[in-house]
Amino acid sequence: MATGHRRISRRMTVGLVALMAVTASLTGCATGTPTGPANGSFAPSSGLPLGSFAKELRDPHAGRVRLVWTFEPDGRWAEIPLALDGQAIDLPPIRGTWTADGETVTIATTHPPGIGTSTHRWRRDRDEMWTWFVASDNPEDQEWFENLDSQPWVPFG
């Protein structure tokens, strides 16, 4: 059973951690070419868009944040929270791996330990990517992801 950091506040922990991971990757993205669907990068076996995707969230404790998910071609995944109003976000990036099978993507987190594995359905709509929660070994994920799934991921970087 999953235990650990994600349970502190799954709603914002995942969002905030993803935003911080994006911040780290932005250093490299700021001077390079954009990643993701804008430059035609897709996972060859599943068509899952590669690169970074973001959405903005409002959390009662953390304020406005941009949550960024990054899918690397080698199967690495990160979720990073970025503060949108200058507030401090004291959460580490969530990192792990992803695998896709058709219209399903499974994200297995490796850092921080104990967050768990979740499975989602996905589809592209032009440059946007929509996700729908399927299952997780963390019982608190369902509410978090159902809220997160209410808007699309847009290319970031």
Average pLDDT over the chain reads 77
Residue 147 structural domain: 5-155
**How many domains in the chain?**
1
Query: pLDDT tens across 62-116, in order?
Result: 889 999 999 999 999 999 999 999 999 877 899 999 999 999 999 999 999 889 9
Q: What is the pTM of this model?
A: 0.73
Cα dist. 99→10, 23, 108, 151 in Å? 22, 23, 9, 22
